[in-house]
Chain A
């Protein structure tokens, strides 16, 4: 298996459901990301994880909860979502940068198309 994989590829859930999105990378990277892609909006970074830190976009509602058990796996736990949360959720990974390096290119998975009914 290569690159970045995401499961499921499609998910339909009601507003009271709880579900999780899974991402796995096979590239030996140390940083992983969750993005939200809504129609006619720029990609929105939700969370970043590296070995030591987590950074989150303060505008992300608490109904989205990330988990990164190791450098290869990333989860996004969803609960009591709203219809406006329907979007394509993309996972990405990259080498871990620091202040003395340049930003590394990110490798993306194919995304999970989420529909909240």
Chain B
């Protein structure tokens, strides 16, 4: 069965510090996809990245970077020089099985609440 573990429930950092959010996943499939979403206080989840299991290259987008390591089943997310606007709950998710109705089953972690203190 699929499982996503975000062991850090809450993290607080001071503005401009770097912070890494951990994500560990479990799946029996060789083809799967990993996602990160951000949920600001306004409520809507915002898509950040999708990575497939065959692409282990790390990705950088501005202050955001992602480290995918199949050997440890991890897909960690780092924010460099954090800002107050980064304060949100961040969700890691795993998708591997086509479940019908044009969708794949998406298993979310419980989320990590990040607070960036000015």
Which residues of A are interface residues toward B (Cβ below 8 A)? 3-4, 30-31, 33, 40-43, 45, 48-55, 88, 90, 92, 94-99, 102-103, 105-111
Contact = CB atoms under 8 A, between A and B. Distances in A.
Contacts of B46: 108
Interface string B20-58: 000000000000010101000011111100101000000
B62 interface: no
Given A97-B98, A97-B103, A102-B52, 10 more contacts: A50-B102, A51-B102, A53-B102, A55-B100, A98-B98, A99-B98, A102-B104, A103-B95, A103-B106, A105-B47
A110 B42 contact: yes
A49 B108 contact: no
The 9 A-B residue pairs with the shortest CB-CB distance, nearest first, are: A96-B102, A50-B102, A103-B104, A31-B102, A105-B47, A53-B101, A110-B43, A108-B45, A48-B101
Contact of B91 (A43, A45, A95, A110): A43
B103 A50 contact: yes
Contacts of A88: 43
A51 B91 CA distance: 28
Contacts of B83: none
B98 A107 contact: no
Contacts of B103: 31, 33, 48, 50, 55, 94, 96-97, 103
Give the interface size class of chain B.
Answer: 20 to 34
B56 to A, nearest CB: 16
Contacts of A105: 35, 47, 50
B108 A50 contact: no
Interface string B64-91: 0000000000000000000000000001
A106 B47 contact: yes
B101 A42 contact: no
A73 B44 CA distance: 17
Contacts of B108: 42-43
28 contacts: A40-B110, A41-B110, A45-B105, A48-B99, A48-B103, A50-B102, A50-B103, A51-B102, A53-B101, A53-B102, A54-B101, A55-B99, A55-B101, A88-B43, A96-B102, A97-B102, A97-B103, A98-B102, A102-B33, A103-B95, A103-B103, A103-B104, A103-B106, A105-B47, A109-B43, A110-B42, A110-B43, A111-B43
